[in-house]
Amino acid sequence: MERAGLIEHCRVAKAEIKELLKLARRDMKTAQELMNISLDWALIVAYNAALQAGFAVMYAKGFRPKGPDRHKTVIRFLHASLEPSFKPTINRLDRIRKKRHQAVYRLAGTISEREARATIKFAEEFIIQVANLI
């Protein structure tokens, strides 16, 4: 990934990594509040929270995404750097990324209550996993 120009080395203080997880937890509260306002945005914000946790993993390992498609790069990095037991979790994050893309750029009102709730639950669990990992 580094040779392909998708990631670069970086030095990130532990405090900054903790701050990313704090942002992720903040976004989770917002996602919960959005359940009564917009299911699309509840999913979008919950995905963003999980993505912040993914960035935290990258930073903890001394890398950051470079160039376009940063969301995809984070997911590719997670696949490459985490243990195989994380594969189903990362695959699910990628499916949510695609749903989020559709909700943001293509079709409004496509997210069901079940999808939004499941995404919120998934993101909460992923953030906890990441916090325990790093």
The answer to whether residue 7 scores a pLDDT higher than 90 is no
**pLDDT score for 16:** 94
Q: Which CATH superfamily is domain 7-133 in?
A: Nucleotidyltransferases  domain 2 (1.20.120.330)
Question: Would you kindly state where each structural domain of the chain is located, as residue ranges?
Answer: 7-133
Indicate the average pLDDT of the chain: 95
* CB-CB contact of 6 with 58 (8 Å): no
* Largest Cα–Cα separation, the chain: 45
First to last CA, the chain: 21
The answer to whether residue 5 scores a pLDDT higher than 80 is no
Give the Cβ contact number of residue 100 at 10 Å. 22
Mean local confidence (pLDDT), 35-46: 97
Instruction: State the pLDDT confidence band at 72, using cuts at 50, 70 and 90.
Output: very high
